[in-house]
């Protein structure tokens, strides 16, 4: 299969990751005019609503198949119905079926359940267990709804302390000063914020006792402190 790809906003890093077998097209009309299977992978915005309309459909081969598994309104429904009724294109595959589209014999309509296959459900369960275990054992956060991603791998110090805190000025300075006053060196640290909350991870050179941990909990703006064993 010869693959053509069109992305007017592609980033440099994303471009480097592209397979060499993908031909990067600079004019989307070339996709419409030359491709046998046209798939849409864009968000629904004012600029993309109805992007596959009568004009785009008129450019396509009569053997073209359009696959829309992104968002229904990306395709002008009236234009697509007319194209299918007149055999302007071969097939329309969509998981946003409407009564008009579903009634056409050359439309293939499927449920919008691509993330609910047996394999994906198993993968999601495995991923959730791994992420929860990583948080419990190492304090790392991935794909949280309310907190930022933060990952320092496995603790290399004598102890790891994680702190959930409010996203307010001077929090990092307070933590480093507090451990400095206790004579404990911070060997590694990471701090990420998201909205009203921040999450800090610190690998310490020495084990902090309960009294030292309580001093961290007493800092204004701290919501929760966890102490994890290190190497």
Instruction: Order across the sheet with 186-194: list the strands.
Output: 186-194, 197-204, 159-166, 222-229
Q: What is the pLDDT of residue 231?
A: 64
Mean residue pLDDT across the chain? 92
- Kindly tell me if the per-residue pLDDT of 15 is higher than 90: no
- Grade residue 185 by pLDDT with cuts at 50, 70 and 90: very high
Contact 56, 82 (CB under 8 A): no
Residue 136's pLDDT band (cuts 50, 70, 90): very high
pLDDT of 200-212, one tens digit each?
999 999 898 888 8
Question: Does residue 71 surpass a pLDDT of 90?
Answer: yes
Task: Tell me the pLDDT tens digit for each residue of 21-60.
Answer: 888 888 999 999 999 999 999 999 999 999 999 999 999 9
pLDDT tier, 159 (very low <50, low <70, confident <90, very high otherwise): very high
pLDDT tops 90 at residue 69: yes
DSSP state of 114: G
**174 CB-near residues (< 8 Å, 6+ apart):** 219, 220, 221
Residue 190 has pLDDT above 70, yes or no: yes
In this structure, the strands spanning 107-109 and 91-94 are parallel
Q: Tell me the two tokens of residue 150.
A: 């933060």
In whole angstroms, what is the distance from residue 106 CA to residue 108 CA?
7
Query: What percent of the chain is predicted at pLDDT more than 70?
Result: 98
Helix, strand and coil percent figures for the chain, each rounded to 5: 35, 25, 40
Torsion, Cα of 22, 26, 29, 30 (10° steps): -40
Q: Which residues, in sequence order, are CB contacts of 39 under 8 Å at separation 6+?
A: 67, 68, 69
Distance in angstroms (rounded) separating the CA atoms of residues 58 and 154: 57
């Amino acid at each position: 299969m010869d693959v053509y790809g069109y992305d007017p906003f592609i980033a440099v890093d994303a471009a480097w990751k592209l397979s060499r077998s993908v031909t990067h097209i600079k004019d989307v009309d070339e996709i419409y005019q030359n491709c046998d299977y046209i798939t849409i992978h864009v968000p629904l915005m004012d600029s993309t609503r109805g992007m596959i309309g009568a004009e785009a459909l008129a450019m396509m081969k009569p053997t073209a198949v359009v696959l829309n598994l992104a968002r229904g309104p990306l395709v002008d429904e009236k234009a697509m119905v007319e194209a299918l009724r007149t055999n302007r294109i071969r097939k329309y595959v969509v998981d946003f079926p409407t009564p008009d589209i579903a009634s056409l014999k050359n439309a293939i309509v499927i449920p919008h359940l691509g993330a609910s296959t047996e394999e994906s459900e198993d993968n999601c369960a495995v991923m959730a267990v791994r992420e929860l275990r990583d948080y419990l054992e190492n304090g790392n956060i991935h794909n949280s709804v309310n907190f930022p991603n933060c990952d320092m791998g496995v603790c290399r110090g004598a102890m790891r302390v994680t702190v959930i805190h409010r996203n307010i000025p001077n929090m990092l300075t307070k933590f480093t000063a507090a451990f400095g006053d206790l004579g404990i060196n911070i060997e590694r640290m990471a701090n990420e914020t998201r909205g009203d909350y921040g999450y800090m991870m610190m690998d310490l050179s020495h084990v902090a006792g309960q009294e030292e941990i309580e001093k961290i909990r007493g800092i204004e703006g701290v919501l929760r402190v966890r102490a994890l064993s290190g190497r």
